[in-house]
Amino acid sequence: MFTADRVPSLKSVLLASGVVLTLAMGVRHGFGFWMQPISEANGWTRETYSLALALQNLLWGAFGPVAGMAADRYGTMRVVLVGALAYMAGLVWMAVVTQPTLFIIGSGVFIGLGLSCTAFGAVSGIIGRVAPVERRSWAFGISGAASSFGQFLMMPLEQFLITSLGWQNAFYLLAGAIILAMVPMSFYLREPEVARGDGQHQSIGEALGEALRNRSFLFLVAGYFVCGFQVVFIAVHLPAYLKDKGVVDPKVAVMALALIGLFNIFGSFYAGKWGGMVPKRYLLSGIYFIRSVVIALFLLAPLSAMSVYLFAAAMGFIWLSTVPLTNGIIAGIFGVKHMSMLAGVVFFSHQIGSFLGVWLGGYLYAQQGNYDVVWGIAIALGVMAGLANLPVDERPVARGALKAA
């Protein structure tokens, strides 16, 4: 187990993890801006770039449980350091590689590994262990707000860099920023051996088996799949969708994605805050139901810059507000010793959904010339996820029982 000289304060952990999440999630949310310039420069269809992003999301999820196990056992600092190096390598790879298969595989592996080591799953464990129980949901909300601030901050910046410096130079500059910011912040994420408590004698295999036998955990897994499908499809394909529909001013798409990030700052914060006062499962179900309604209204309303901004603001408030609630439920049911690993398992489901959302968007567009079917799938899945989260039981698991509660 990784040890450190002293227990980090909640303030320092939230600040350092906030910087890491701001960059990790902020850069990643802007990848949609590179779809058209990279595809045009290399003579690719949208499906090629979509498949690369789909593989990034899938491997992000696949590496997540392993990164979580490493963070729980060896410390968050070391995992973030590995992630920063992998993230940097992935951005450089996307800038220089022109062979489609190599581009897809290399960017998928490097960016996927980088995100698994620097995003929610990797840092959730240290946040859960440092935050007092009564402030844990709030702390998860703060970390979610930090990632949303990254989206709000980075969307216009990334578009500006592409426009003013070129898409390749934009990658190089962001790769440098990842290293220069994440490496020093990682040293504030050192922690001592996890405090002894409920579940202290569990091995990784026992903790995983307990979770996979728990019905509520499986409901969370199902809901997170839908979350990933919806948000990544929208984040990657919304700029191209707007252009196809005649909204050709790129500033509209930039502003829309920035508004999603801005409003999710408030959505994540209040989800964490309200999650400490009312059952989290009801909030989760409500988020998924509301997403379906918002998407349907967006498709039915006349398309204009204003309708796009209203859609972005509404989706933004419920964009990643699922994260503090889901992590809060996991910590409440199973404790915090294996928090990063269990969060990584749930997030793997999220990333399978992300893979299908971004890939189906590109595939069905290539087949049909529009995104109509994918929008319909996103609406139907939202309703299903809302129903799936209603029966979640948030009570702590009874250790030593023959089967999980």
- What's 243's domain CATH number? 1.20.1250.20
Calculate the alpha carbon distances from 177 to 91, 193, 368 in Å: 11, 31, 39
Instruction: Confirm whether 402 is domain-assigned.
Output: no
* Alpha carbon distance 362, 34 (integer Å): 14
Instruction: Confirm whether 2 is domain-assigned.
Output: no
62-72 pLDDT per residue, tens: 898 888 888 88
pLDDT reported for residue 386: 94
Task: Return phi, psi of residue 119, to 5°.
Answer: -100, -160
Instruction: Confirm whether 91 is domain-assigned.
Output: yes
pLDDT reported for residue 400: 54
| Residues ≥6 apart with Cβ < 8 Å to 377 | 229, 360
Closest CA to 176 of 84, 101, 276: 84
pLDDT reported for residue 215: 92
Instruction: Confirm whether 33 is domain-assigned.
Output: yes
Q: What is the tally of structural domains in the chain?
A: 1
pLDDT reported for residue 145: 79
At 12, list the tokens: 């320092």
pLDDT reported for residue 47: 77
Instruction: Confirm whether 219 is domain-assigned.
Output: yes
Instruction: Confirm whether 40 is domain-assigned.
Output: yes
Q: Which amino acid is at 217?
A: F
Ranges under pLDDT 70 in the chain:
1-7, 151, 192-201, 399-405
| Residues ≥6 apart with Cβ < 8 Å to 7 | 130, 191, 192
Instruction: Confirm whether 401 is domain-assigned.
Output: no
- Looking at the chain, the number of H-run helices and the number of E-run strands are 16, 0
- What range defines the domain where residue 185 resides? 10-192+204-389
pLDDT reported for residue 193: 58
Instruction: Confirm whether 86 is domain-assigned.
Output: yes
b/e code 128-161 from CB counts within 10 Å (16+ = b): bbbbeeeebbbbbbbbbbbbbbbbbbbbbbbbeb
51-110 pLDDT per residue, tens: 888 888 889 888 988 888 888 888 889 999 999 999 999 999 999 999 999 999 999 999
For tokens 């999220």, the residue is: 350
